[in-house]
Amino acid sequence: MNLKIKNALVSLSDKDNIIPLLQVFKKYNIKIISSGGTYKIIKKLGYNCIELSKYTGFKEMLDGRVKTLHPKIHAGILHDRKNRAHKNEMTKKKFPSIDLIIVNFYPFQKVVRNTKNPKNIIENIDIGGPTMVRAAAKNFKNVAIITNKNDYTELIKELDKHKGKTTLRFREIMSSKAFGLTAYYDSMIANWFNNKLKIQFPERKTIFGRKFQDLRYGENPHQKSSIYISDYEDKKIGFEQLNGKELSFNNYNDIFSSLNILESAKGKACTVIVKHANPCGVSENRKPIESYKNALACDPVSAFGGIIACNYRINKKIALEINKNFSEVILAKGFDKDSLKILKRKKNLRLIDISKYQYNDGLPIKNFDGSFLIQNKDKIIIDKKKLKCVTKLKPNRKEIEEIKFAFNICKYVKSNAIVLSKNFSTIGIGAGQPSRLDSCKIAIQKARKFFPKKIKNSIAASDAFFPFSDGIKALIKAGVKIIVQPGGSVRDQEVINTANKAKIVMLFTGTRHFNH
């Protein structure tokens, strides 16, 4: 049913793009009710407007905390136009109908981003705005609700098309958006309180997100997909794309996987190459060019069409090396002019500057049909208190540092995970196998294919314990000299005996790194 708009209540924190609204209101003789800064701007622009306090006959109080919370406002919004009893009550009270609400809320998000002062943040929790929005959204059969300035154009089109009226479908769509906004707004507030109180797993968990963009499709062409940002800065993803096609679902998935690994790299130049969310090459080196070459050399076949992520600035020399192979995305902490010229020769190559990317401690979430799992991030590399050398042979200090590197990388490899390392570079990775022995075989196979000489005296890291000695025997036979694993199997002693017999070093970390 199309309804004529006679009275509109406008209350805006963000007053951009208000003039076209005022013009269309004048065109269709729509009376405006407003207060505070919005009222002043409307009057300043030369349009008629009734001040809210004059409309209700009640001055706002408590520093503006109470102004729209008045029966004349909420009765005007909530009454059912077809209900006789409602009509009679409204007539007795001389309360007019309010047919359109245009509201945006106090800038809670902006305040949270710009201050840590709890008092200022709490003062910017809007009460009256969400209350009006929920009332109007509930009564969409009689009232239109606009909560986003991007919908002003749609409202104007609607009024022009229907000569000052709105359709039921339009009102219902706007109602859906309005409830989405109030839920989003309240979720941000609830999460702020949980963060403030250090409550990671509250009884009721709300996840807020703003759509950043639609993607061409999901993991496969028959799946639809979008990316959402769940952060108080919800209009920027945190990095800047400088070249190439739009990013896909799979691109984003690989990008976030590579950024997680980069976050854990401290000090040295680190290069991460990811394919299907698994690292296929990781290297740390004082020289960025060597870091890149070593990461690529780990598995150049798997690296084809992958994601390259660097915690350093790309220069001409590195760009020339990168351009020798096909990659989908390059992430780096900046690109110099010469490197951009070289890399932009490939029009589809996505170049992304991550120099301003901010890591946060958001909780990883896995969603299912009617439930979801949440856990905190796996940030432990090696707890020195739990680290235990269980063999007769002991590692030296330099070897301990590389043991940390290998064990850290294996926590980002899909389980079961085996990582072979030499000189702070991966030389073989076995990922995602139901059998740990199979993961060992794959890691060995990769190393033998690309590093037949380096596998001798290399380090092997396992994300979980070895349930049998077969995997250990395969690694020893291949030439591994140090094995690091969590330990904890009922057959630990059998595995330790195998290591001692082969005269290799084995360490137990006491920490498991499953990644499913």
Helix (H, G, I), strand (E, B) or coil at 348: coil
Length of the chain: 516
Burial class (CB in 10 A: 0-12, 13-18, 19+), 65: exposed
Alpha-carbon distance of 38 to 106, in angstroms, equals 13
Cα 439 versus chain centre, distance: 30
Residue 394 contacts by C-beta under 8 Å, 6 or more apart in sequence? 505
Residue 247 identity: L
Are 476 and 498 in contact, with CB atoms under 8 Å apart? yes
Find, among 78, 38, 34, 88, the residue nearest to 56 by Cα: 34
Are 308 and 327 in contact, with CB atoms under 8 Å apart? yes
Are 428 and 445 in contact, with CB atoms under 8 Å apart? yes
Are 415 and 392 in contact, with CB atoms under 8 Å apart? no
Q: How far apart, in Å, are the Cα atoms of 467 and each of 33, 81, 411, 450, 487?
A: 73, 72, 18, 28, 9
Q: And the tokens for 190?
A: 């609830």
* List 6, 276, 316, 346, catalytic entry: 276
Beta bridge partners of 228: 211
- Residue 276 catalytic? yes
Alpha-carbon distance of 479 to 136, in angstroms, equals 72
Buried b / exposed e along 355-369 (16+ C-beta atoms within 10 A): eebeeeeeeeeeeee
Alpha-carbon distance of 209 to 324, in angstroms, equals 39
Residue 139 identity: N
Residue 63: half-sphere exposure toward Cβ, Cα within 13 Å? 3
Alpha-carbon distance of 98 to 481, in angstroms, equals 79
Beta bridge partners of 7: 31
Residue 120 contacts by C-beta under 8 Å, 6 or more apart in sequence? 111
Burial class (CB in 10 A: 0-12, 13-18, 19+), 351: buried
Beta bridge partners of 44: none
* List 15, 43, 74, 138, catalytic entry: 138
Catalytic residues: 138, 276
